[in-house]
Amino acid sequence: MAGEAAGGRRVFVSTLPAGPGERRLALAVVLASLAIFLSAVPFAKVPLGQVWPFIPIYQSALVVNDLITAVLLFGQFGFLRSRALLVLAGGYLFTAFMAVSHMLTFPGLFGPTGLLGAGPQSTAWLFMFWHGGFPLCVIAYALLKSDTRDIDGPAGRAGVAIASAIATIVAVVCGLTLLATAGQHALPAIMRGNQYTAVMLSVVSTTWVLSLLALVILWRRRPHAVLDLWLMVVMSAWVFDIALAAVLNAGRFDLGFYAGRIYGLLAASFVLMVLLLENGKLYARLVQSTAEAEAANRAKSDFLSRMSHELRTPLNGIIGFSQLLELDSLTPEQRESVEHIQKGGRHLLALINEVLDIARIEAGAISISLEPVLVTDVVRSALDLVRPQAHARRITLVDAVAGDDHVTADRQRLQQVLLNLLSNAVKYNRDDGRVEVSCTNADSGSIRLAIRDTGRGIAPGMLERLYTPFERLGADRSGVEGTGLGLALSRRLVEAMHGTLHVESTVGEGTTFAVELPSAAGRPAVVAGANGGPPSAATPKTFGTLLYIEDNPANLRLVERIVSYRPGLTLLSAMQGSRGLELARDHQPRAIVLDLHLPDLDGTEVLARLRGDPRTRDIPVVIVSADATPGQVTRLLAQGADAYLTKPLDVSDFLALLDRLFNRMATPCVTTT
């Protein structure tokens, strides 16, 4: 994360190192400004006409430039939290506000002596305060550049710092304006009409020295960022501005007066132009990054789909044929061998499912449907599933959840999390132990579900590795089965439901896992239960023709064996999509089982043609695929599939589905994963 933060910081002009190109451009601007300045110096005292619109036009442009620059710099401070940037942004805000006071008090512009109670010295002194204050801010910026005590913390603290800076600048500007107007008699006279007095030379020299000092300090504080480089250009123009407008000229409305203010406007524009160009580049990078992220997400989704297919397809044959063997008459040794095959296959399937679930969460491809869920309902469902496992080890399950509390969660995903935590609490418990599930109200309107066991506990030094994928903390040597992914997946699922997962453990006493989820005031939606239990090995009521479109010989053979347990079924098979369409039109089967990956036509195209042909439109189509991604399932069901089964097939579920379809028991949009 630190590397990412550092990389993010280097995209700003305030942190991006100045390259040779930026240095050459800045030097060219300074040399051009110097050439124009030197050509104007001999004519600085030449009197010109009093062009009154020039003052409000120039001052208004200056105010707008400096305000936009201050806002952009405050924005960068909000990200970088640099004290130096906060001071510099305040400096630009100071010049904007001082330009307003200067314009309002200018004699003869809005009133004979100016507004705000101004006198003959007010405007000149405001010019001096203005042109002395900004270099001081630049000096402070240069000195604070290497200060590592950045303002850390949440966004609120940055907002407080910005608000405090703005309030300070407003107070300083009001104080200086008050001093230059109401307190002008306490200041020495530096103007006599439109001409300068002798005192002006010492006052303006101080201001000029401050600008030169700011330029020197900026130059010496290396390495230079792009912003530093252009601030040096600004201070160079600032020196030319003061020289022409207050040192080398004779007074107001001569050539130096006008030329100096033009330099001031240019000085205000340099940093603004650089910041605006930077914002344009950042926006272009953002658009490019968004497009790349979308492409990466599409690639991840394609990868997940392909991996799901490639990993599940061979398991379909392993688990399917082992289930069929269980239905045959076997010797005890043979049955034990089949159980080992199934055990290994289901372990690998669980591993694949958990890896794919974690990958889906990271890719943003997992489907989470948040709704009010009754806590007692989901807890008791999970307890029922682990009860046989607990009974085998004489572990007592205690349900201490009562009441009608609801949480905002995805019911299926919450049950998946609870089932994993309860299964771990049983697996890693001692014989004759105890597992207790409780529910309490937590802080901030959350519900806390706690699962406490009486196992051996987890050492404090191992807790930080608990959620590391494939990390089993030595349990792999104990003979206890597991993949090392359950807790990592559970934590990601809980976070996807806007909750948190905590753990507390005491060695020798046990472990408590706590899931905190937002409380929900409403009632949960009705969740349909399973459509009956697994069928018996033979159901003679099922009659008709079944068409199976599949190009994998092992999968074809598996379905042939499964269908043999329904003597009333006739199986037709096709290894190509086009051939399957012909058989569907000619034989009018009662149902079609369709694989998605076919050599000639994609399964989705076959489904579309079946639904588009009046002769096959009403034939139920069951999709059988190794692609278990939620988006794929939803899309195929929306395109007209009656059911979607994922490989490896569960023989009992598959037979139950065939029984329902062939006996006209409507079960639309059935999905088994």
Q: Which residue has the higher pLDDT, 538 or 450?
A: 450
The H or E element spanning position 407 is strand 406-409
Distances 382 to 34, 393, 527 between C-alpha atoms, Å: 80, 18, 15
* Residue spans of alpha helices (H) in 458-602: 486-496, 553-563, 577-587
pLDDT confidence tier of residue 471, bands split at 50, 70 and 90: low
Q: How far apart are CA 205 and CA 433, in angstroms?
A: 88
Q: Please, are residues 568 and 521 in contact by the beta-carbon 8 Å criterion?
A: no
Least confident of 164-173, 462-471, 599-608, 617-626: 462-471
What integer pLDDT is reported at residue 176 of this predicted model?
A: 93
Using a pLDDT cut of 70, give the percent of the chain over it: 81
Q: What is the pTM of this model?
A: 0.49
Checking if the pLDDT of 532 tops 90, the result is: no
Q: How far apart are CA 253 and CA 255, in angstroms?
A: 7
Q: Please, are residues 262 and 61 in contact by the beta-carbon 8 Å criterion?
A: no
- Cα 377 to its chain centre, rounded Å, is 33
Q: How far apart are CA 73 and CA 166, in angstroms?
A: 13
What integer pLDDT is reported at residue 458 of this predicted model?
A: 83
Q: pLDDT tens for residues 6-61?
A: 444 446 777 778 888 888 888 888 888 888 888 888 888 888 888 778 888 888 88
What integer pLDDT is reported at residue 356 of this predicted model?
A: 65
* Residue spans of alpha helices (H) in 588-650: 603-612, 630-638
Q: Which residue has the higher pLDDT, 183 or 251?
A: 183
What integer pLDDT is reported at residue 485 of this predicted model?
A: 64
Q: How far apart are CA 572 and CA 660, in angstroms?
A: 19
* Residue spans of alpha helices (H) in 449-594: 486-496, 553-563, 577-587
Q: Which of 622, 556, 555, 626 is nearest to 592 (CA)?
A: 622
* Residue spans of alpha helices (H) in 374-515: 375-392, 411-427, 486-496
As a whole number, mean pLDDT of residues 283-310 equals 69
Q: pLDDT tens for residues 325-368?
A: 877 777 888 877 877 777 677 666 766 666 666 666 655 556 67
Q: pLDDT tens for residues 585-641?
A: 888 999 999 988 888 888 889 999 999 999 999 899 999 887 766 667 888 888 889
Q: Which residue has the higher pLDDT, 291 or 548?
A: 548
Distances 359 to 300, 303, 355, 459 between C-alpha atoms, Å: 8, 10, 6, 29
CA dihedral 142, 145, 146, 149 (to 10 degrees): 130
